[in-house]
Amino acid sequence: MQAKEAAERLGITQRMLRHYEKEGLMDVSRTFNGYRSYSETDLRRAGRIRDFIATGFSTREIRAMSACLSDEGSGPCEGGIEKLTEKLMHIDRLRAELDDKRNAVLERLATLRNGLSALGTDP
């Protein structure tokens, strides 16, 4: 498929798609006229790149674990697991704190409701 459709399906701009290519993250074939032609495989790869970037990885880091980008599980995906696990730790820490906070708010709300019902406002 052509650039426009690919970008739309991925929810990113053509500019970003070209960027991935120029950064050596993917290799897109061209039709006779020079237009890029994205295969479904290309799409999936680009989708992974998009996710990696959205998760705070740089193209440099992503390039370093390019085995993590192909459909084929051909390589041991050098370092990929470790790096991702690290990111996951960051997320997990944040999420745990957010959850605590959310629970605190919920509790406060519950207490408030209890207080009200204790006053006989509720059956």
- What is the crossing angle of helices 40-54 and 14-22, to 10°? 90
Does 27 engage in binding with DNA (CB under 7 A)?
no
Does 16 engage in binding with DNA (CB under 7 A)?
yes
What is the nearest approach in angstroms of a second copy to the Cβ of residue 94?
A: 5
Give the count of residues interacting with DNA (CB under 7 A): 21
d(CA 36, CA 29): 6
Of 16 and 77, CB closest to DNA: 16
Return the H-helix or E-strand segment holding 29.
Answer: strand 29-30
Contact 83, 57 (CB under 8 A): yes
Residue 77 backbone phi and psi in degrees, to 5:
55, 60
Could you say which of DNA, a second copy, none residue 64 binds, taking C-beta under 5 to 8 angstroms by partner kind? none
What is the nearest approach in angstroms of DNA to the Cβ of residue 116?
A: 43
Task: Write out the residues near DNA by the rule CB under 7 A.
Answer: 2-5, 13-16, 18-19, 23, 32-36, 53-54, 58-60
